[in-house]
Amino acid sequence: MSTPEVISEALDVEQFAARVLRRPLWDHQRELLRSPARYRVVCAGRQSGKSATLATAALHTAATRRGALVLLVSAGEEASKRLLADCADLASGALAGGVVDESKATLTWSNGSRILSVPASQRQIRGWPVDLLIVDEAGFIGDELWRAAEPSIIARPGSRVILASSPWGGPEAFFRALWQRGMDSPDEHVESWHWPSAISPLTDAVLLAQIRQREPADYFDREYLAEWPDEAGAYFSEGELMAATADYTLTDPGTIPRSRRRLWPTVGGVDWGLARDGNALVVVSVLDPDRAEDLRWRLFIPWLEVHHRMPYSAFIDRVGGVAGRFGLRVIASEVNGVGQYPTDELQDRLRRNGCGTQVRPVWTDQRRKTSGFSKIKTLLQSDRLILPRHPELLKQLRGLQFEQTSAGGLRIAVPERAGHDDLAMAAMQAVSCVQTGRLRDGHDDPHRQPETDTVSTPAGVRLPRRPWPIESVSWIDAPDGEMTGDGW
């Protein structure tokens, strides 16, 4: 049993996992993978065995069926790469003849089968007749993308779908609705499962109990119990965030030609990490209205990244590289906490590089957080901000909590133990460099040519799949709240 050609279709998934992959299935994994339902839907908590289950399903289909196509869809390019890497790692040493082509994001074997991984993009999903469709973090996939992906199983007899995600989305969202249907009335078409973290036989029950004691209830319920939490106390609702989310393509700074870098008016925000938080950078710009369907000036995020356990010196180098590629005009960098030294070093590094980027120190106190996230909320509500479908950013924004103070004011904060807040804070820093009063509607030009390859938000805002920023810099200014207690 050394090559895919000699693995028989008669070898069911349980035998395949034990004998070929040498990874026997746990009871809950076995139940899902042996289900006859065409649509298998699982809402899973952390470390519940979701990734290994999806990889096992993909490898079994590819190895036991000649010419099979398995399509892996995930809510982001990095997430889709990780899912394919999980398959490659699990197959390593167990399935000879498998070859990973990273440039094409495929895993192929000599029996003609392929595992193809794509990010959540209608263009990349359409047109594939697949034997197994796996959608990871399906809660973050919009209904429009699901409608593009689902027809891929129509043309293959015996084709199947597995959808898995942490809890995300309102009652009307396709993943939550399909999961609820399978929980309430499972049949041969749809069957669902609920996998809290404790379902794994590897779970340390004592440690899980300790985590529950120290974490906010809504965070623990969502991440470990895999339950949709009540939105009471959430500053941004899921509906509010998802209405502003579109499946546009982030612009890798390494792909921007040198000749065009000054045509990318952008601002940035940096959050310096400590302990479990990472160092994060978020870039913000204004979408060129001449390339969009309407003429409103809207903010969008062309790029964002977070690095855990990266030394400050290495992250400073990385920010300098991104600043040079994008031609960043201003970067807002926090100086309280651990941020003073790396901010000073970043200022000095960019000054010596001569890229023209201003690094403006800001003091991130409670007034600044309240003002900053209120600004983002206003931009969302007025259709002036478009978000990428980036699960970690969306989770962090959803994790913001609010409360009334004893003085009658409003306090907005990311709870200290509510998971990471690095990307949310970096986004707030970047938006602080935007003068929203200068966002306006453009003038119609009968000769303008809007992009035809577009995507849309659930609220109906259409924008190019590959957004391009406006050349104007009139909306850029020094960040608000540069001194402690300033707010804005």
pLDDT tens figures, 417-446: 455 789 999 999 999 999 988 888 766 666
Q: Are 10 and 1 in contact (CB under 8 A)?
A: no
Q: Are 470 and 426 in contact (CB under 8 A)?
A: no
Residues 147, 246 within the same domain: no
Residues 115, 33 within the same domain: yes
Burial of 242 (0-12, 13-18, 19+ CB in 10 A): buried
User: What's the pLDDT band for 327 if we cut at 50, 70, 90?
Assistant: confident
**How many other CB atoms are found less than 10 A from the CB of residue 367?**
17
Q: Which of 170, 198, 214 is the last residue of a domain?
A: 214
Q: Cα separation of 72 and 136, whole Å?
A: 8
pLDDT tens digits, residue range 218-273?
778 888 999 887 666 778 887 889 889 998 989 999 888 776 656 689 999 999 98
For residues 111-125, give the mean pLDDT: 76
Q: Are 304 and 291 in contact (CB under 8 A)?
A: no
Structural domains counted in the chain:
2
pLDDT at 120 over 50: yes
Sign of CA dihedral 355, 358, 364, 368: negative
Return the pLDDT at 442: 66
Q: Is residue 475 part of a domain?
A: no
pLDDT tens digits, residue range 373-430?
999 999 999 999 999 989 889 988 988 887 666 555 566 766 554 557 899 999 999 9
Residues 249, 202 within the same domain: no
Q: Cα separation of 391 and 414, whole Å?
A: 17
Sign of CA dihedral 117, 123, 128, 132: positive
| Residue 155 phi, psi dihedral angles, 5° rounding | -90, 0
Q: Which of 182, 214, 246 is the last residue of a domain?
A: 214
365: domain range? Answer: 238-464
Q: Are 146 and 23 in contact (CB under 8 A)?
A: no
Q: Are 96 and 53 in contact (CB under 8 A)?
A: no
CATH number for the domain that contains residue 184: 3.40.50.300
With CA atoms as reference, report the closest residue to 284 among 251, 315, 262. 251
Q: Is residue 437 part of a domain?
A: yes
Q: Is residue 477 part of a domain?
A: no
Return the pLDDT at 104: 62
Return the pLDDT at 322: 94
Q: Is residue 224 part of a domain?
A: no
Residues 278, 142 within the same domain: no
User: What's the pLDDT band for 61 if we cut at 50, 70, 90?
Assistant: very high
127 versus 183: which is more confidently predicted? 183
346 versus 214: which is more confidently predicted? 346
pLDDT at 10 over 70: no
Q: Which helix (H) or strand (E) covers residue 89, if one does?
A: helix 77-91
Q: Which of 181, 214, 247 is the last residue of a domain?
A: 214
| Token reading at 138 | 């399906």
Q: Is residue 126 part of a domain?
A: yes
Residues 123, 12 within the same domain: yes
Q: Is residue 219 part of a domain?
A: no
Q: Select the highest-mean-pLDDT range: 43-47, 154-158, 243-247, 484-488.
A: 43-47
Lowest mean pLDDT among 92-96, 283-287, 461-465: 92-96
127 versus 90: which is more confidently predicted? 90
Return the pLDDT at 224: 93
Lowest mean pLDDT among 19-23, 27-31, 170-174, 471-475: 170-174
Q: Are 148 and 208 in contact (CB under 8 A)?
A: no
Bridge partners of residue 163, in order along the sequence: 41, 135
Return the pLDDT at 216: 75
Residues 148, 244 within the same domain: no
Residues 193, 260 within the same domain: no
CATH number for the domain that contains residue 374: 3.30.420.240
Residue spans of beta strands (DSSP E) within 188-337: 190-195, 245-246, 266-271, 279-286, 299-307, 328-334
Q: Is residue 384 part of a domain?
A: yes
Residues 288, 195 within the same domain: no
Burial of 314 (0-12, 13-18, 19+ CB in 10 A): exposed
Residues 245, 191 within the same domain: no
User: What's the pLDDT band for 300 if we cut at 50, 70, 90?
Assistant: very high
How much is the mean pLDDT over the chain?
85
Residues 398, 264 within the same domain: yes
pLDDT at 281 over 80: yes
Residues 249, 115 within the same domain: no
Distance set, CA 39 to CA 27, 34, 144, 150 (Å): 19, 12, 18, 10
Q: Is residue 228 part of a domain?
A: no
User: What's the pLDDT band for 181 if we cut at 50, 70, 90?
Assistant: very high
Residues 21, 130 within the same domain: yes
Bridge partners of residue 386, in order along the sequence: 300
